[in-house]
Amino acid sequence: MAHGITTAAELARAVRDFLEEELLHASEGRLRFLTRVAARAVGQLERELELGPELERAHASRLARLGMRDDAELCEAIRSGSLDDRMDEVLAAVRARVVDRLRVANPRWLLPEDVAQAKEEQAVKA
């Protein structure tokens, strides 16, 4: 809580908890399904609020190391072949971006080694 004010991530977590712990168990059929969908959507919002700025900075840093300003410039460089001699770096940067997006969208789809690496990164920052 920043300055005694509930953060957006904390509000999202509270809504998700309510949906998962109260409403989901008290509903059935279509309402239960829609509650599950809503809880997952709020969970994604919660992760975006918590991780989004950090993941965007990391992505910008990876792009900068490749000499790129944004994804569009990276795509053009890949198409033109100007990064062919640095393909290992390009693949690592693109893969890291995909992993970051999965960390927000649905962390259950991550490979075990990606989960371990994310935990290591969080421990270093703590």
Diameter of the chain by CA atoms? Answer: 58
- Determine the pLDDT at residue 41: 97
pLDDT at 2 over 70: no
pLDDT at 27 over 90: yes
Distances (CA, A) of 60 to 14, 66, 77, 116, 122: 31, 10, 16, 22, 18
pLDDT at 119: 82
Res. 115: pLDDT tops 80: yes
pTM (2 d.p.): 0.82
In 3D space, the residue among 100, 120, 6, 5 whose CA is nearest the CA of residue 57 turns out to be 100
Domain residue ranges of the chain, discontinuous segments joined by +? 8-125
Q: What average pLDDT does range 16-34 have in this prediction?
A: 96
Q: How far apart are CA 73 and CA 92, in angstroms?
A: 17
Residue 121: its pLDDT value, please?
A: 78
CA distance 39 to 14: 10
